[in-house]
């Protein structure tokens, strides 16, 4: 299988090339842009831009870039794939996460996310507090 490929244009919405083949069984994390600012800790509150693509069909499900408004939330309050996959990233960085369903929305899915869907997130870290 091939991982999705992601553009490294800081400050602009990423372009994500959909992956092929079977989704990985384990959480995958890759820095597309290595940040140089404050580091994400498990206890951090983050401000991020993110794009979500489903592995199964390569469709963009949601992107904060389209609204132009980044999202802010405590890392402890989001899906396990983010809690495990984002610590160590730094402000200014862009990280690709491929999140299996058991660390995402599981067998029930959520809204536009179908059951047992592998999630592809590209997360740009804007601020950490």
pLDDT at 2: 75
Closest C-alpha among 25, 4, 2 to residue 100 = 25
Element (H, E) at 65: helix 64-67
pLDDT at 50: 98
Closest C-alpha among 54, 59, 1, 5 to residue 25 = 1
pLDDT at 3: 86
pLDDT at 59: 95
How far, in Å, are 32, 49, 54, 108 from residue 8 at the CA level? 6, 14, 20, 33
pTM of the predicted model as reported, rounded to 2 decimal places: 0.96
pLDDT digits (tens, 9 = 90+) for 70-124: 999 999 999 999 999 999 999 999 999 999 999 999 999 999 999 999 999 999 9
């Amino acid at each position: 299988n091939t991982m999705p490929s992601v553009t490294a244009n800081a400050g602009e919405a990423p372009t994500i090339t959909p992956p092929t083949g079977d989704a990985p069984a384990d959480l995958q994390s890759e820095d597309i842009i290595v940040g140089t600012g404050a580091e994400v800790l498990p206890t951090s509150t983050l401000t991020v831009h993110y794009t979500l693509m489903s592995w199964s069909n390569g469709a963009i499900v949601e992107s904060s870039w389209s609204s132009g408004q980044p999202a802010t939330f405590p890392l402890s309050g989001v899906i396990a794939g983010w809690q495990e996959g984002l610590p160590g990233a730094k402000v200014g960085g862009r990280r690709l996460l491929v999140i299996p369903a058991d660390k995402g929305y599981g067998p029930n899915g959520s809204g536009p996310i179908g059951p047992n869907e592998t999630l592809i997130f590209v997360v740009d870290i804007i601020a950490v507090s």
